[in-house]
Amino acid sequence: MKAPVFDPQWFADLSASAQRPPLRPRVPLVWGREVLGSVEPDFLDPIAPRLAGLLQREASAQGLQWRVQGDATDALGQVALALRAAQIASVAQQWRNEQLAVWSAQGMQLATVERGVVRPLGIATRAVHLVGRSQDGGYWVQQRALNKPNDPGLWDTLMGGMVSAADTLASALERETWEEAGLSLDRLQGLAQRGRIPLCKPSANDRAGYVVEQIDWFSATLVEGAQPTNMDGEVAQFLLLSPQQLLDKLQRNEFTTEAALILVAALRAG
């Protein structure tokens, strides 16, 4: 296939969709001198009385902010449990009993937090994606399960998943590739990291949520005869598309924002 030609307005809209401000004003969530995330100003009001000593609203030189106190992991854990007990719908739906790392602006891990609260608390996350090629140059893509809380039924790269607090980038890549596609890394040829994509956008399924995410993406070619098989129930189906079929499907907006950006970069790289 020749170098892909994208509709310029479509690509401009896609790029803009990955960098959008919050739908409503947000204020910092802080610990010590570190900004952990952001929340809508009144989001924590229902749970603040039961978390006296761990969570408080305060004024700063920049305006209102919410402060967690004490051990950051413990305080965020108590916030998460209180939000769940308050039956915040998005928290209950996203709850995974999985801890994600909370990072400083300088890349130092400050704490861990339950995955189900990272969007409403505006905490930055990390993810890994894999672009899978066939031996003849096609692209393997997956359709997200219809019961997934985020982007159900949309199309995605061969594999995409979050990096947990227990993971390195390499271990997350290995685990998620097995869980989502049933492939061990020895079934991949030419595996290499290709780029990094930042996302900052309102959460699609959480009125109070905001996505701040760094995505590292890799590409590889499946060995002859290898086919993806989902292992965790989170994939509806896989398809193998020619570059032109993938291009057409992308421009019909059938993919998640992050998958579309990654696959555009992969198509351009050839």
Instruction: Dump pLDDT digits (tens) for 101-116.
Output: 999 989 999 999 999 9
**pLDDT-above-90 percentage for the chain:** 88
Burial classification of residue 115, based on how many CB atoms lie within 10 Å of its CB (0-12 exposed, 13-18 middle, 19 or more buried): buried
216 DSSP β-pair partners:
128, 196
Kindly report the average pLDDT of the chain as a whole number.
95
What stretch(es) of the chain map to CATH 3.90.79.10?
Answer: 8-18+125-269
CA neighbours closer than 13 Å in the CB half-sphere of residue 60:
15
- Residue 124 identity (one-letter amino acid): A
Output the pTM of the full model: 0.94
- Give the end-to-end CA distance of the chain in Å, rounded to a whole number: 9
Question: What's the rounded mean pLDDT across residues 213-220?
Answer: 98
Question: What's the rounded mean pLDDT across residues 145-162?
Answer: 94
What is the pLDDT at residue 83?
A: 94
From the options 3.90.79.10, 2.40.50.140, 1.10.1060.10, 2.30.30.180, give the CATH code of 8-18+125-269.
3.90.79.10
Task: Place 27 in a pLDDT band, splitting at 50, 70 and 90.
Answer: very high
What is the pLDDT at residue 205?
A: 78
Check residues 206 and 82 and name the one with the higher pLDDT. 82
67 DSSP β-pair partners:
30, 56
What is the pLDDT at residue 1?
A: 55
Q: Is the pLDDT of residue 262 over 80?
A: yes
For residue 239, the 8-state DSSP code is E
What is the pLDDT at residue 3?
A: 73
What is the pLDDT at residue 4?
A: 81
Q: Is the pLDDT of residue 2 over 70?
A: no
pLDDT tens digits along 82-140: 999 998 878 878 899 999 999 998 999 999 999 999 999 999 999 999 999 999 999 99
Question: What's the rounded mean pLDDT across residues 9-37?
Answer: 96
Asked if 232 contacts 215 with a C-beta cutoff of 8 angstroms, the reply is no
What is the pLDDT at residue 190?
A: 97
What is the pLDDT at residue 270?
A: 83
What b-and-e string marks burial along 64-90, b requiring 16 or more CB atoms within 10 Å of the CB? ebbbbeeebeebbbbbbebbbeeebeb
DSSP reduced 3-state for 29 = strand
What is the pLDDT at residue 172?
A: 98
Task: Place 161 in a pLDDT band, splitting at 50, 70 and 90.
Answer: very high
Question: What's the rounded mean pLDDT across residues 204-213?
Answer: 90
